Each structure stands twice: as C-alpha cells, then as structure tokens.
Amino acid sequence: MTPNQKDLVRESWSKVLPIQETAAELFYGRLFSVYPEVAPMFKGDMKEQGQKLMNMLDQAVGSLDKLETLIEPLKQSGRAHRAYGVREEDYDKVADCLLWTLGQGLGASFDEKTKDAWVVTYQTLSGVMIEGADYQTALPAQEPKKTWFKRILNKATA
C-alpha cells in the first residue's frame, strides 16, 4: 500500500465518519438485497452490527501506518467469522457492498484512485482474516449441544 493510497483512504474515511450510521444501513441493505443467502448469518441487532462494522473499519483506517498491530486481531476475527458460517467467497460479497456503499456516501469524490486505494486496503485486511480462518483445514468436530430436556434427564439418571 502506497503512502498516497493510505492518504486517500484516510481522507475518504473522514467523510464517511459523520454519516457512519447511514453508511452501515446502506451497506447491510445492499448486502442482504444482492446476496440474501448471507442474511441468516446475522442474528443480532443490526444497528449494533453496523456500529461494529464502522468501528472495525475506523480502527483499520487509523492503523494504516502500523498494520502489523492488526494482524492477530484480524486473524482472530477471521476464525470467528468462519465459525459463524462465513465462507471464503463471502469476502468478495462484502467487498462489493463496501465499495458500493463508499460510492453512494462519497459521490464524485469516490474516484478511481480512491476506489483503488480502498480495494488494496480491503484486500490486505480480508487477506489476513482469510489466513486466520484457515479454510484449507477442516473445522474441529463439535459435540452436539444437549437440549435442556436431555440435561435434566442426564441429571435424573445419574
């Protein structure tokens, strides 16, 4: 990532921050309308989810000059996202919707150079998350969850 690309990302992000709630709504609205198959992965409060997304992006943009500080948190996030059911190809869907959202929010100032800078930023961040998710390795088998009824039965027969 070049210094100029970092500057373009920081400058454009500073314009998104005042509209971050709207940006998050646009992002998830677009994600769920274009890629409805990902909607079941999101079970919580979407306003809260949007805030988490904006906070994560803000932290990443604020760390562009020290990306090494994000490596472990991004790898952990990648592992967590895999556990939620996120597949490697889903990262491209997020990229598509993020770039669309930035274009909507920034208008004409989201020119090709700024878009390219965001593409490089997203590829860098998502690449570390994908590495952390380790999609080439099978997930460990999990013990089936016991229902409350089975737990009571087990206690009664013990």
Digitized pLDDT (tens) for each residue of the chain, 158 residues in all: 999 999 999 999 999 999 999 999 999 999 999 999 999 988 888 999 999 999 999 999 999 999 899 899 999 999 988 888 898 899 999 999 999 999 999 999 999 999 999 999 999 999 999 998 888 776 555 444 444 334 434 444 44
Task: In whole angstroms, give the CA distance from residue 125 to residue 116.
Answer: 14
Overall domain count for the chain:
1
Residue-by-residue DSSP string for 115-145: HHHHHHHHHHHHHHHHHHHTTTSPPPP-PPP
Task: In whole angstroms, give the CA distance from residue 62 to residue 56.
Answer: 10
Asked whether the whole model's pTM tops 0.85, one would answer no
138: Cα within 13 Å, side-chain hemisphere: 3
Which pLDDT score is estimated for 44?
84
Do 26 and 104 meet the contact criterion of CB atoms below 8 Å apart? yes
Which pLDDT score is estimated for 157?
42
Task: In whole angstroms, give the CA distance from residue 121 to residue 74.
Answer: 13
* Residue 69 CB partners (closer than 8 Å, separation 6+): 63
At 114, which CATH number?
A: 1.10.490.10
Domain containing residue 56: 3-157
